[in-house]
A and B are shown apart, each in its own frame.
Chain A
Amino acid sequence: MTWLADNWNTVLTLTWRSLYLAGIPLVLGFVVSIPLGWMASRWSRTYPAIITTTGLLYTIPSLAMFVMMPVLLGTKILDPVNVIVAMTIYTVALLARTVADGLNAVPDDIAQAATAMGYRGARRLFGVELPLAAPVVAAGLRVAAVSNVSIVSVATLIGVSQLGDLLVDGYNRVIWGELLSGIIACVLLALAFDAVIVLGTRAVTPWLRVQAARA
Chain B
Amino acid sequence: MIRFDAVTKQFPGGTVAVDELTLTAPTGKITVLVGPSGCGKTTSLRMVNRMIEPTRGTITLDGQDTGRMNQADLRRGMGYVIQHAGLFPHRTVLDNIGTVPRLLGWDKKKTRDTSRELLERVGLAPELGERYPAQLSGGQQQRVGVARALAADPPVMLMDEPFSAVDPVVREQLQDEFLRLQGELGKTIIFVTHDIDEAIKLGDQVAVLRVGGRLAQVAEPAYLLAHPADDFVADFVGRDRGYRALGFQEAPRLSLHSEPTVVLGERPEPTDAGWLLVVDDDRHPLGWVEPRRIGDRPVAEADLHRGGTVAREHGSLRAALDAALSAPSRRGVVVDGGGVLSGTVLAHEVLNAIETTERPQRDESDPVHGGAAALRGDEDTP
Chain A nearest CB, measured from B166 CB (Å): 15
Q: Cβ of A58 < 8 Å from any Cβ of B?
A: no
Known contacts A112-B51, A118-B103, A214-B134; A131 and B80 CB within 8 A of each other? no
Chain A residues with CB under 8 Å of B329's CB are: none
Chain-B contact segment, one of A15-23, A30-38, A142-150, A203-211: A203-211
Chain B nearest CB, measured from A179 CB (Å): 46
Known contacts A110-B88, A117-B99; A210 and B135 CB within 8 A of each other? yes
Q: Cβ of B100 < 8 Å from any Cβ of A?
A: yes
Contact across chains for B86 and A112 when beta carbons are under 8 A apart:
yes
Interfacial residues of chain B within 88-112, with CB under 8 A of chain A in the complex: 88-91, 99-100, 103
Q: How many residues of A contact B (CB 8 A)?
A: 21
**Considering only CB atoms, which chain B residue lies closest to A206 in the complex?**
B132
Known contacts A207-B90, A207-B134, A210-B134; A113 and B75 CB within 8 A of each other? no
Q: Cβ of B167 < 8 Å from any Cβ of A?
A: no
Give A206 to B73 CA distance when docked, in angstroms: 31
Give A120 to B73 CA distance when docked, in angstroms: 11
Contact of A118 among B76, B82, B84, B134 (CB under 8 A): B76
Contact of A210 among B86, B87, B103, B131 (CB under 8 A): B131
Q: Cβ of B60 < 8 Å from any Cβ of A?
A: no
Contact across chains for B103 and A117 when beta carbons are under 8 A apart:
yes
Give A211 to B148 CA distance when docked, in angstroms: 21
Give A119 to B75 CA distance when docked, in angstroms: 9
Q: Cβ of B72 < 8 Å from any Cβ of A?
A: yes
Chain B residues with CB under 8 Å of A52's CB are: none
Interface flags for B10-49 (1: CB within 8 Å of A; 0: not) read 0000000000000000000000000000000000000001
Chain A nearest CB, measured from B45 CB (Å): 10
Give A118 to B51 CA distance when docked, in angstroms: 10
Q: Cβ of A123 < 8 Å from any Cβ of B?
A: yes
Contact across chains for B135 and A214 when beta carbons are under 8 A apart:
yes
Known contacts A115-B75, A117-B75, A118-B73; A207 and B80 CB within 8 A of each other? no
Interfacial residues of chain A within 185-215, with CB under 8 A of chain B in the complex: 205-207, 210-211, 214
Contact across chains for B90 and A113 when beta carbons are under 8 A apart:
no
Contact across chains for B75 and A118 when beta carbons are under 8 A apart:
yes
Give A128 to B89 CA distance when docked, in angstroms: 9
Known contacts A115-B51, A210-B132, A210-B135; A123 and B89 CB within 8 A of each other? no
Chain A residues with CB under 8 Å of B75's CB are: 115-118
**Considering only CB atoms, which chain A residue lies closest to B73 in the complex?**
A118
Interface flags for A66-110 (1: CB within 8 Å of B; 0: not) read 000000000000000000000000000000000000000000011
Q: Cβ of A132 < 8 Å from any Cβ of B?
A: yes
Give A107 to B313 CA distance when docked, in angstroms: 50
Chain A residues with CB under 8 Å of B72's CB are: 118, 120
Chain A residues with CB under 8 Å of B82's CB are: 109, 112-113, 116
Q: Cβ of B83 < 8 Å from any Cβ of A?
A: yes
Give A119 to B87 CA distance when docked, in angstroms: 14
Chain B nearest CB, measured from A19 CB (Å): 31
Chain A residues with CB under 8 Å of B71's CB are: 118
Chain A residues with CB under 8 Å of B99's CB are: 117
Contact across chains for A116 and B89 when beta carbons are under 8 A apart:
no
Tell me which of B71, B72, B100 has the highest count of chain A C-beta atoms within 10 A of its own C-beta.
B72
Contact across chains for B88 and A118 when beta carbons are under 8 A apart:
no
Contact across chains for A109 and B132 when beta carbons are under 8 A apart:
no
Contact across chains for B86 and A109 when beta carbons are under 8 A apart:
yes
Interfacial residues of chain A within 109-138, with CB under 8 A of chain B in the complex: 109-110, 112-120, 123, 128, 131-132
Chain A nearest CB, measured from B75 CB (Å): 4
Chain B residues with CB under 8 Å of A205's CB are: 90
Contact of A113 among B74, B78, B86, B132 (CB under 8 A): B86
Known contacts A117-B80, A117-B99, A118-B100; A131 and B90 CB within 8 A of each other? yes
Chain A residues with CB under 8 Å of B76's CB are: 117-118
Give A111 to B272 CA distance when docked, in angstroms: 68
Contact across chains for B51 and A128 when beta carbons are under 8 A apart:
no
**Considering only CB atoms, which chain A residue lies closest to B145 in the complex?**
A113
Give A92 to B103 CA distance when docked, in angstroms: 32
Give A165 to B369 CA distance when docked, in angstroms: 84
Give A109 to B51 CA distance when docked, in angstroms: 13
Chain A residues with CB under 8 Å of B135's CB are: 210, 214
Chain B nearest CB, measured from A63 CB (Å): 42
Chain A nearest CB, measured from B377 CB (Å): 29
Interfacial residues of chain B within 138-172, with CB under 8 A of chain A in the complex: 148, 158
Chain B nearest CB, measured from A148 CB (Å): 28
Contact of A132 among B80, B86, B90 (CB under 8 A): B90
A residues apposed to B, CB below 8 Å: 109-110, 112-120, 123, 128, 131-132, 205-207, 210-211, 214
Report 6 cross-chain contacts, Cβ distance below 8 Å, ordered by A residue: A113-B86, A117-B80, A117-B103, A123-B103, A132-B88, A214-B135
Identify the 7 closest CB pairs spanning chains A and B, nearest first.
A113-B86, A116-B80, A118-B75, A118-B76, A118-B72, A109-B86, A211-B134
9 extra interface residue pairs, beta carbon distance < 8 Å, beyond A117-B75, A118-B100, A132-B89: A112-B82, A114-B88, A117-B99, A119-B103, A128-B88, A132-B88, A207-B89, A210-B131, A211-B89
